[in-house]
Amino acid sequence: MAVLDNWFIQVHDFIYVKEEEGSDAEAECILRLLGLRAGDRVLDAPSAAGRIAVRLARAGCHVTAVDINHDYLKRARARFQAEGLKGEFCQADLRRLPLREGFDAVCNWWSSFGYFSDAENLRVLRGMVAALRPGGRLIIEQPNRHFVLRRLRPVMTESDWVLLTNWNARTQRLESVWIHEEDGREERYPMSIRWYTWAQFRSLFRKAGLTLEAAYGDHDGSDYTPSSRRLIVVGRKG
C-alpha cells in the first residue's frame, strides 16, 4: 500500500485524543527525562487538545502548543484559560513548522511521528530542530515496534471499534484502518505510520543535527530494550 495521502487530517477523536488517565505520569516523565524547570520554553508538537501541554504549563514551563487541527487548539486554549495558565497556540502543519530557534525543548509525544513519507518525516524533524536553541532537547515517544509486532493480529477490537492492521515490512509502516458504526453508518479511518527503530532514529537524528542522547523503554524512564513497550528517544541539538 502506498503512503496514504492526508489520512492524518481526518482522524476520529477516539484515536487522536488520549484519555486523561495516565497523563500526569506521562507529563512527569517528560519533565524528568528532559530535566525541565519552571521558566523553560517548551514546544508541544503536536499537542492535540493539550493534555500534555497543560500539565507542562502547570509545572511552570512556557508552553507553545502546535497542531494542524484548529478545534483541538481551541480546546487546549480553553483548558489553559480555565486554569489561569498562559500559553501560545499555533496552528501549523508540522511539515512546515514556522518557528525558529529559542525553545529549550520540543516534545513529540504519543505516536505523533512518522505520519508522512520518509523524506517528509525528516523534514518534520528538521523543523523541530530549527525551533530548538543550541543545546536544546527533543523527545519523541512511540510504540516500540518490536514489542507491538509480536502481538499484532490482523483484526483487533477496542471498545466498539474494530482495528484492521497490516505491517508492511518493505516500507516499515503500520497500515491500519479503524472502523466503527455511528448513527447507523460505518465510518473508516485509515492510517499509515512509519515506525522507526532505535538505530534508525539515531541516523535520522544525525541527519537533522541532533545527537541521540538516550533511549528509554517506558514512562518510568527505564532503559530501552527490544522488549520494551515504548520507544522514547531524546536528542540534543548540536
Asked if 115 touches ligand SAM (CB under 6 A), the answer is yes
Phi-psi region of 221 (alpha: psi -120 to 50; beta: other; left: phi over 0): left
User: 156: Cβ–Cβ under 8 A, 6 or more apart, which residues?
Assistant: 162, 163, 165
Binding residue for ligand SAM, selected from 40, 46, 174, 232, defined by CB under 6 A: 46
Which one of the spans 40-48, 152-160, 181-189, 197-205 is the region binding ligand SAM (CB under 6 A)? 40-48
Q: How many residues bind ligand SAM (CB under 6 A)?
A: 20
- By CB under 6 A, which span of 41-49, 98-106, 145-153, 154-162 interacts with ligand SAM? 41-49
- Asked if 194 touches ligand SAM (CB under 6 A), the answer is no
Angle ∠(163,123,229) on CA atoms, nearest 5: 40
When asked if residue 68 is in the footprint of ligand SAM (CB under 6 A), the reply is yes
Query: Are 152 and 167 contacting, i.e. CB atoms less than 8 angstroms apart?
Result: yes
93 binds ligand SAM (CB under 6 A): yes
Three-state secondary structure call for residue 33 = helix
Dihedral sign, Cα of residue 80, residue 125, residue 98, residue 130: positive
Least distance from C-beta 48 to ligand SAM, angstroms? Answer: 3
Among 36, 94, 125, 191, binds ligand SAM (CB under 6 A): 94
The footprint of ligand SAM on residues 7-36 (CB under 6 A) is: 8, 16, 18
Give the residue with the Cβ less far from ligand SAM, 46 or 136: 46
Question: Could you tell me the smallest distance in angstroms from the CB atom of residue 204 to ligand SAM?
Answer: 18
User: How many angstroms separate the CA atoms of 66 and 92, rounded?
Assistant: 6
Q: Considering only CA atoms, which of 196, 178, 198 is closest in space to residue 188?
A: 178
Beta strand 155-158 with 161-168 is antiparallel
Which residues lie near ligand SAM (CB under 6 A)?
8, 16, 18, 46-48, 51-52, 67-69, 72, 93-95, 109-112, 115
